[in-house]
Structure 1
Amino acid sequence: MILNRESKYYISEIHRTLTSYGYSREQLGVHPGTFSQKGDALTIWPVNSDHNFRVDFFGNIIEQIISLTSNKEHKSLTINKNSIITEDGEYFPGAFIVHPYHGIGIFQTNLIKNVSGENKQFIHLEYAKNDSLYFPKNREKELMVYIGRKKPRLTRLNSDSWHNTKQRVTENLLVLAKELLEIYSQRSAHKRKPFSKDFGFLRVLEESFDYKLTIDQQKALGEIIDNLTNTDYPQDHLLVGDVGFGKTEVAIRAASVVLASGRQVALLSPTTILSAQHETLLVERFKDLPIKIAQLSRFNSSNHTEIIDKISNNQIDFIVGTHKLLSEKINFENLGLLIIDEEQRFGVKQKEKLKKVKQNIDVISLSATPIPRTLFMSLSGLRSLSLINMPPIGRKGVSVSVKKFNQKTLIDYLKRELDRKGQIYYIHNRVQSIHAAKNRLAKLLKENKIKNRIFEKSMTKDDYVVIGVAHGQMSESGLSETMNHFLSGDIDILLSSTIVENGLDHPNANTLIIDNAEQFGLSDLYQLRGRIGRRDRKAYALFMIGGILSSFSEDKIISNTARERLSAIAEIEEIGGGWQLALKDLEIRGSGNLLGREQSGYMEAIGLLLYSKLLKEAVDHVKKDELKKHLQAKINSTSFSVQDKF
């Protein structure tokens, strides 16, 4: 931010900007990274300066900018952010920060200090017992944010405790690394030929696509293709990107490399609705290529026998489906790649089947909010990872509100979307009461003079607001028909279970309302939020505590965990926040389920990111040891055979 003399500013706007920059307001005096106001005078100590300044206003005009050290007047004042930028993000004062050699401290501020007659930038970190460390600003990438328990134990500087803690963790990780490598060595033992570098299919897909891939998409695609064409054993790749950021397009193009090598590809979807949408997309994308595509889900159960036979006889190249793809009846003739859309959506039984399938084929897992276990494995280097952080051009964020159930608020959200001829997702995740919710919603609309009617077959679209119902216990034909009418605009409000949380891409639906949001997991809330705001129209999400069938009393208490989940989802309004949300989920849930109680204690002692870094180092160390043993065994074997000849 730059303030110029004789220019117009609102002091309140400067306050807001300074606060967003990580500055705090003080009542008496200022120090680096703070500001104060007395009458029409604003005193600021920029973190990029070794002293403070007074900015005098006459009305909304800056009259003068004065250095409070030299009393010299300035034409302008540049104010830098009071933040630190690490490898994993930007953080402001109050954040718990891990220094690999000094331990866990709290980021206080950036500041300028004079060292040997020269002004240099430092980061002030505060440790236990008010110990302070001034760390060079130009080395801030060495720092890591702490992820683990909510309030970690701070470290004393110049004590042995941090060194001893790291030593215990490192020794434990060497044991863990051996166990993990044993699992992954089983995978690498399954050899395969690198896929062909004939990218003819890939070029056809590039030429037929309406948009240019973002830089992140290009990078992710390059990393995956490199894995496929330059390695001789199956790869396990995690592709993370926000909903609507183009993960599927990257996966499709990577699949074209496998298809061009004469191998089959399977795409596993968590829901029948998403499976059907994937099939439609694949048919469109591969229409100019000799690729046979089929779907296996309950939407086409009458054709299952024929499709399964064709899969076994290599007559289908690209098969998309739900967990039915994991059936023992299916024997792939030549499967080379499995694409898993939102792996965390599958149940325990399906995941056990996945483990068996994944051992000897390449896998690409797509996720917007990877579950902490998957996240951890990727951070530690045991799975290859690509991130798509860049949104498509024109995408806007979603405005999220978390409120206790209130009829007026609900009607306001419904009317705003209906008035602009848009459509609405209304999530009520209890199938047994969804029709009661439908009737209550219809009555509420009528009471507010909004004419409405329930969706029926062959009905004509008039000036009524039409309510449709969708859930997983409906018949295949009924569910398919309802979804098609919603996508075609015949249904205005889709009252649904969470069956819609994955995959639906409908630009005209830009309001989302969730009943009893306190009962949802963080990943579920984020996936549902991803149904809206997928184009350039502003989108709105209302997460209601309580719901349309039960008033939520003011004195009712929800759990701290539910409160933290709702706060986290409301905070991440910018698009591309899924990765950060997964880290937040780990912090809220703790790492007990991730690593087990013993490993959880080690991780929380030093934070997830340093733990993952040390685990990667331990894995590399064990790999080197194993390589040395292998080479020594080979040398010994050679020497024995030489002796045998003489």
Structure 2
Amino acid sequence: MGSPTTNRNSVLIAGITPYFLEKGNFWFEENLQQIIQARKTQSFFKNNVLCLETDQKYNPYQLLRELDEIGYEKVLQVSEPGEFSQRGGIIDVFPLNSNNAVRLEFLGNTIDNISQLDIKIEDESTTKLLLKKKLKSQKLFSDLKGLKGGDFLVHLDHGIGIYRQQLVIGNQSYYQLEYGAGDALYVPVGLERKLSRYVGFIKPGISRLGSLAWQKIKKRAKEKAENLARELLDIYAQRTMSLRSPYISDEEIQNQIVGTFQYKETPDQIQAVKDIENDMSKPEPMDRLICGDVGFGKTEIALRAMIKAVASGKQSAMLCPTTILANQHFQNFKDRLKVLPIKISLISRLQTKKEQNHIIQELKDGRVDVVIGTHRLLSDDVAFHNLGLLVVDDEQKFGVKQKEKFKKIRSSLDVLSLSATPIPRTLYLALSSLRNVSLIQTPPEHRLPIKTEISLFNKETIREAIINELKRNGQAYFLYNRVKTIKEARSFLEKLVPEAQFSIIHGRMKEKDLIKVLGDFQNRKTNVLIATTIIENGLDLPNVNTILVADASLLGLSQAHQIRGRIGRSHIQSFAYFFYPSRLNHLAKKRLQALKETEGLGMGYQIALRDLEIRGAGNILGKEQSGNINQIGLNLYCQMLSDAVERLRAVKFTS
């Protein structure tokens, strides 16, 4: 706590507005009398300036409300301009127009004493600049579009409440929020920047108005956001200090790769390729995240980046979360690269120890240009001759130890991460100055939305769906997520649709058998694949355009969305059937409804997939931040992170 240094008779407190943020503190001293005069005749000054003096009659609760309304933030303890705190009859304020905080002591409804605290700022310009940025970020991060009664909102000073309605009292419109113990808060329209929509992993606890608990929670979250900002800035600084030779362009090789791509690039893909080319032409290593819905062409962008690295005499590696995915990428890349003098290898548990050792030796000697593998690539015995680029497919699927390895690798290596989990716009804004992010949101040309049907488990529908697919020489997935009884499911289907050839895959099979079954399915020796959620990870078979899910009530929304994304990979109309048992709980019903609402293309980015977004946020920020996100909501957390980054940057710059 700051202690009073000098007593004073009066204090002027200017509101947090763009107009006042442009003015230096000297301007307020010079124009003090004119400002006091303007308060009597002009509504702007009346609404945005407080004049307080000793012995003045003033209800302390009215002052707290007015400080809130002129944009000041309530905190546990003031430390910078634009903040206020209260303890009993003492209110501390750090005016925007002062280099020092002040203390107001009340005796009942009278200001008994005004004193200056020994809490001060050294650099007025930097502080004003940070406040401007904070004002801007509050507006950006509030996310109040499409607000409905019953939605959870976070008020910067009072915590989490329930939005009830917008109403007019007198001539002023207000947002009405309900808090614990039936308390109500009325927030004037125009002060939206103090509100943010609550997005979290759990249903939040409702705050009590006037309780210190929220200020403590906020202080803790702010400290954690600062720590993360420091960590991110350190990684960023290390990357800017690590230098490597810029990659060269080889038009001939790039043109050959582009020529073997069978689709037309989307505008987002073209932009992402340009972003990567720009990153790779700089002397600092690249660290870019490609975020895009399932089937929107992230792998193609990665392939082109890997070939660019190889053309510059470097090796490229692609890390995949599963053997199935590694094998699929390997087969696709091998096919695309067959016309080029580029050696590509696969390293996973599919090979014998002897084969693995041979590939590891070739990597060391520089005889392999491109390697695709599972976490086996991160083993201590794997060394590269000249690794330039690491592509990480679905980074969030890797464990803590593997992520630690990424952190060590990151500062010296070019890293391209791919994620099919969309990230919220607010997180994108908070990270955009630290980590380069490319969003792939436009679907490929002629791609049709997947027709989605949600219904009770129904034999006739299953038979009809499979028969219709066979009639057009297509294939289907039947998702059955119980390994114990999967053979019984096969018998049931063989009796129901004797015209079809069925095969089974699940996670407990030997990987060699698994790849063989998949290979047979890919080569159309079978036409219905009965599978567990093992197919969730990136299978890309354009001839499979029907998926039937035996019990969708067991799936989370993001998982169901990913699984549906296994089909609809071409211009052919595809169909997804999500069946559920006779009894369905409320949450499962809601999830399935959201799935129906998001059958459009790129809908992974729409509001109904908020649980996807929050997962995306958790994946990027790390598990240790989840608790803070839950307590204050993702939007406020991202705002704090953004503010912390700006503040730390300003401190570094001025020092």
SS in structure 2 at match of 1:364: strand
Correspondence 1:225-624 to 2 at 5 A: 225-232=277-284, 234-301=285-352, 303-369=355-421, 379-381=430-432, 382-443=434-495, 445=496, 450=497, 452=498, 464-545=499-580, 552=581, 554-555=582-583, 558=585, 562-580=588-606, 583-585=610-612, 603-604=629-630, 606-624=632-650
The offset of 1:368, in angstroms, is 1.1
- Per-residue CA deviations over 1:465-521 (Å, capped at 9, x if unaligned) read 111112344445533332223223231211112332223222222211223333334
- Per-residue CA deviations over 1:81-137 (Å, capped at 9, x if unaligned) read xxx9999796365466779899989889999xxx9xxxxxx998544547364459x
Q: 1:310 to 1:582 in 2, by over 3 A?
A: farther
Correspondence 1:138-287 to 2 at 5 A: 145-148=197-200, 150=203, 170=222, 173-182=225-234, 185=237, 190-196=242-248, 201-232=253-284, 234-287=285-338
SS in structure 1 at match of 2:476: strand
Normalising by structure 1, report the TM-score.
0.66
Q: 1:184 to 1:563 in 2, by over 3 A?
A: farther
Q: 1:231 to 1:295 in 2, by over 3 A?
A: same
Could you tell me whether the CA contact under 8 Å between 1:152 and 1:604 is conserved in 2?
Answer: no
Q: Structure 2 CA distance, aligned partners of 1:179 and 1:249?
A: 31
Q: Structure 1 CA distance, aligned partners of 2:483 and 2:212?
A: 58
Correspondence 1:51-66 to 2 at 5 A: none
The offset of 1:315, in angstroms, is 0.9
Aligned to 2:18: none
Letter in 2 for 1:613: Q
Q: Structure 2 CA distance, aligned partners of 1:413 and 1:478?
A: 28
The offset of 1:270, in angstroms, is 2.4
Letter in 2 for 1:369: T
The offset of 1:402, in angstroms, is 3.8
Could you tell me whether the CA contact under 8 Å between 1:377 and 1:383 is conserved in 2?
Answer: no
Using the TM superposition, name which of 479-488 and 613-622 deviates more: 479-488
Q: Structure 1 CA distance, aligned partners of 2:378 and 2:529?
A: 31
Could you tell me whether the CA contact under 8 Å between 2:292 and 2:439 is conserved in 1?
Answer: yes
The offset of 1:255, in angstroms, is 2.1
Letter in 2 for 1:527: Q
Could you tell me whether the CA contact under 8 Å between 1:86 and 1:142 is conserved in 2?
Answer: no
The offset of 1:567, in angstroms, is 4.0
Could you tell me whether the CA contact under 8 Å between 1:423 and 1:509 is conserved in 2?
Answer: yes
Could you tell me whether the CA contact under 8 Å between 1:238 and 1:384 is conserved in 2?
Answer: yes
Correspondence 1:93-108 to 2 at 5 A: 93-94=148-149
SS in structure 2 at match of 1:623: helix
Q: Structure 2 CA distance, aligned partners of 1:168 and 1:105?
A: 19
Letter in 1 for 2:371: I
Letter in 2 for 1:294: S
Q: Structure 1 CA distance, aligned partners of 2:622 and 2:515?
A: 41
Q: Structure 2 CA distance, aligned partners of 1:312 and 1:592?
A: 32
- Per-residue CA deviations over 1:254-275 (Å, capped at 9, x if unaligned) read 2233222211101112233322
Q: Structure 2 CA distance, aligned partners of 1:564 and 1:403?
A: 13
SS in structure 2 at match of 1:465: coil
Letter in 1 for 2:488: A
Could you tell me whether the CA contact under 8 Å between 1:469 and 1:494 is conserved in 2?
Answer: yes
Letter in 2 for 1:361: L
The offset of 1:594, in angstroms, is 6.5
Could you tell me whether the CA contact under 8 Å between 1:468 and 1:495 is conserved in 2?
Answer: yes
Could you tell me whether the CA contact under 8 Å between 2:428 and 2:437 is conserved in 1?
Answer: no
Correspondence 1:101-140 to 2 at 5 A: 125-128=175-178, 129=184, 131=186, 133-135=188-190
Q: 1:344 to 1:514 in 2, by over 3 A?
A: farther
Aligned to 1:67: none
The offset of 1:396, in angstroms, is 1.6
Q: 1:375 to 1:97 in 2, by over 3 A?
A: closer
Q: Structure 2 CA distance, aligned partners of 1:507 and 1:482?
A: 17
Q: Structure 1 CA distance, aligned partners of 2:442 and 2:620?
A: 31
Aligned to 1:21: none
Q: Structure 1 CA distance, aligned partners of 2:204 and 2:321?
A: 36
Q: Structure 1 CA distance, aligned partners of 2:419 and 2:262?
A: 24
The offset of 1:282, in angstroms, is 1.8
Letter in 2 for 1:571: E
Could you tell me whether the CA contact under 8 Å between 1:103 and 1:154 is conserved in 2?
Answer: yes
Aligned to 2:93: none
Q: Structure 2 CA distance, aligned partners of 1:110 and 1:193?
A: 58
Q: List gaps (5 residues or longer) in structure 2.
A: 1-138, 179-183
Letter in 2 for 1:509: V
Number of matched residues?
507
RMSD across aligned positions (CA): 4.4
Q: 1:432 to 1:620 in 2, by over 3 A?
A: same
Could you tell me whether the CA contact under 8 Å between 1:194 and 1:229 is conserved in 2?
Answer: yes
SS in structure 1 at match of 2:358: helix
Q: 1:334 to 1:523 in 2, by over 3 A?
A: farther
Could you tell me whether the CA contact under 8 Å between 2:448 and 2:568 is conserved in 1?
Answer: yes
The offset of 1:442, in angstroms, is 1.9
Q: Structure 2 CA distance, aligned partners of 1:331 and 1:359?
A: 17
Q: Structure 2 CA distance, aligned partners of 1:432 and 1:395?
A: 37
Using the TM superposition, name which of 501-510 and 577-586 deviates more: 577-586
Q: 1:161 to 1:277 in 2, by over 3 A?
A: closer
Q: Structure 2 CA distance, aligned partners of 1:513 and 1:127?
A: 43
Normalising by structure 2, report the TM-score.
0.65
SS in structure 2 at match of 1:542: strand
Q: Structure 2 CA distance, aligned partners of 1:536 and 1:219?
A: 23
Letter in 1 for 2:269: Q
Q: 1:90 to 1:252 in 2, by over 3 A?
A: farther
Could you tell me whether the CA contact under 8 Å between 1:237 and 1:385 is conserved in 2?
Answer: yes
Q: Structure 2 CA distance, aligned partners of 1:175 and 1:470?
A: 44
Letter in 2 for 1:245: F
- Per-residue CA deviations over 1:515-547 (Å, capped at 9, x if unaligned) read 3333334333222111111122222222333xx
Could you tell me whether the CA contact under 8 Å between 1:86 and 1:144 is conserved in 2?
Answer: yes
Letter in 2 for 1:316: V
Q: Structure 2 CA distance, aligned partners of 1:107 and 1:123?
A: 14
